[in-house]
Amino acid sequence: MSSAQQWIDVEFESLRLGDKRLERRFRSVLADLARHCGKTLGSSFDSLAKLKGGYRFFANARVSLRAMLDPHVSHTVDRARAHKTVLALQDTTFFDYAHRPKTDGLDIVNRSRTNDPIEGLMLHNTLAITTDGLPLGLLDQRFISRKKLHQSQKEQGKSDRSRVSKSIKDKESQRWIDVLRQCHALDLGSTQLVHVCDREADIYELFRDASLLDEKFWFAPPIIARSTSPFSMRRPLPGSLINSASVVLRGVLVSLFR
């Protein structure tokens, strides 16, 4: 048995999908994906039968992101309890499927220079790491639906309201607050959790709720978060600069929450 399979069996021992066959299929699919990390689904399975089984699993209505993630989050919390301070890194990943026009169920993630919608998916992740940079696992992961949000506003007659006058609940920014509350509900024992976000989370309502819940926040400066320029893709910073900035950030955090 491979080390990846052993980890999967322990990490997802408490997985409950309502059907033992689904639970076995989940572990099998996860093991195949782990062996071919970064590959397409077609390249991740050893046979056509396994590939079809994977697609059937993904399409099963009884399978949800929350049900699959809960056992892993539980183990992440257990690992976090062994540390005095843990950082919760929040950020949103945008999947660009502009070149897959036949794919259904996509959201609008951006617009081109000609203002044409670019379709894809928005996935908001919260990764727990130690102050030394050791990943402990995910504390939360959720898809953000812009179409659903905007449709709800339209049904409520809010489509013409300006961004400034909208309630935070009608904005995508609500995701930062939802994750804050979700993490606050986790039993971390005496571990100090410090949320680390970029400038997108710099909103009054998040400060307010963090204060009420006694949650600690650190907003990563732009030089650490990313380098951007108008009308261009996000460009990575030089590795030496990232390393220097991360060392400074780590030192500040350790001094603050020692």
Question: Which of 63, 80, 101 is the C-terminal boundary of a domain?
Answer: 63
Among candidate residues 234, 193, 202, the one with its CA nearest the CA of residue 221: 202
28 shares its domain with 52: yes
Residue 227: the pLDDT is 41
Residue 83: the pLDDT is 97
Q: Which tokens sit at 178?
A: 């939802």
54 shares its domain with 169: no
Residue 221: the pLDDT is 63
57 shares its domain with 148: no
110 shares its domain with 135: yes
Report the domain count for the chain: 2
126 shares its domain with 218: yes
86 shares its domain with 116: yes
Please provide the DSSP assignment of the chain as one string: --HHHHHHHHHTTT---S-HHHHHHHHHHHHHHHHTTTS-GGGT-SSHHHHHHHHHHHH-TT--HHHHHHHHHHHHHHHHTTSSEEEEEEEEEEEE-TT-TT--S-EEEEE-TT--EEEEEEEEEEEEEETT--EEEEEEEEEE-HHHHHHHHHHTT-TTS-TTTS-GGGSTTHHHHHHHHHHHTS--TTPEEEEEE-GGG--HHHHHHHHHHT-EEEE--HHHH-B--TTS--BPPPHHHHHHHHHHHHHHHHHH--
The domain that contains 54 carries what CATH number? 1.10.246.40
Question: Which of 31, 63, 95 is the C-terminal boundary of a domain?
Answer: 63
Mean of the per-residue pLDDT values for the chain? 80
Question: Which of 63, 90, 115 is the C-terminal boundary of a domain?
Answer: 63
Residues 6+ positions from 228 with CB-CB distance below 8 Å: 234, 235
Residues in the chain, pLDDT under 50 = 153, 155-156, 159-160, 223-258
The domain that contains 237 carries what CATH number? 3.90.350.10
180 shares its domain with 226: yes
186 shares its domain with 235: yes
97 shares its domain with 208: yes
Residue 161: the pLDDT is 52
Residue 81: the pLDDT is 97
d(CA 175, CA 254): 27
92 shares its domain with 11: no
Domain holding 33, by residue range, is: 1-63
145 shares its domain with 246: yes
